[in-house]
Amino acid sequence: MRKNSNFRLVILFLSGVALLFIVAPLIGLMLSSSVEQLSETIIDQEVQSSIILTLMTAFFATLTFAVAGIPLAYLLAKRDFRGKKLVTGIIDLPVVIPHTAAGIAVLGVISRDTLLGKAAGAVGMSFVGSPLGISFAMAFVSVPFLLNAARDGFAAVPSRLEKAALNLGASPSRVFFTVSLPLAKRSIISGAIMMFARGMSEFGAVVIVAYHPMITPVLIYERFGAFGLKYAQPVSVIFIFVSLLFFIILRIVSGKRST
């Protein structure tokens, strides 16, 4: 009994240390800004525009690459093929490389002198310094979260159910949309939420592709560099609250849809 009690105390202590490590900086940040500073920051048009831009570009990146990435996740979960481990490693690569390097990599694909950049220029568009370029940068560093979650969700779908549907005459596409996708939905939604959240917080890749227009992480950095900590803190607090609010809303909505 005493050994069990000591073990629980150690677990509780270490858990408390880990939780304090996360919570303490956030509490310190929130206490560093006065109500007056926060009120002025909330009505700041530049701050409002940056938050709206951040939400819109992160949502667009998540929606677009969810449509493109879910089939790949299904393929990785349900099919064995030569080079599968290589493909899996490539998917995880954006998570581990420096994000400034990720931004340079994205820039090498969408800059004006590349094939994609020239195609966009021919129709009067530009990826560099635009919301579309920001979405590309966000998607590059965050899409592994969606792909890995969706792959695990599809892998958990019992193959016998899919085979039973095929034996009953359903086409592969119908099996995918009526059996595999609904059963993997919870994992896919969870991955999409993580991708959205990760995209919102991205700085390194985005600042290489588009310093302007400014998303909120870039605005925080710009105000810190130009005016100091006092002017960056209120923006950080507001953005943390907005991020937390959207994260909670998405979790609640996804939970209702999954039940």
pLDDT in tens, 29-70: 888 888 898 999 999 999 999 999 999 999 999 999 989 899
The C-alpha R_g of the chain, in whole angstroms, comes to: 22
Question: DSSP character for 214?
Answer: P
Q: Are the CB atoms for 129 and 212 separated by under 8 Å?
A: yes
Question: pLDDT category, 256, cuts 50, 70, 90?
Answer: low
Identity at 1, one-letter amino acid code: M
Q: Report which of 66, 226, 89, 228 is spatially closest to residue 153, judged by C-alpha positions.
A: 66
pTM: predicted TM-score of the whole model, two decimal places = 0.88
- pLDDT confidence of residue 202: 94
Q: Does residue 243 register a pLDDT over 90?
A: no
Q: Does residue 4 register a pLDDT over 90?
A: no
Question: pLDDT category, 28, cuts 50, 70, 90?
Answer: confident
Task: Tell me the pLDDT tens digit for each residue of 153-184.
Answer: 999 999 999 999 999 899 999 999 999 999 99
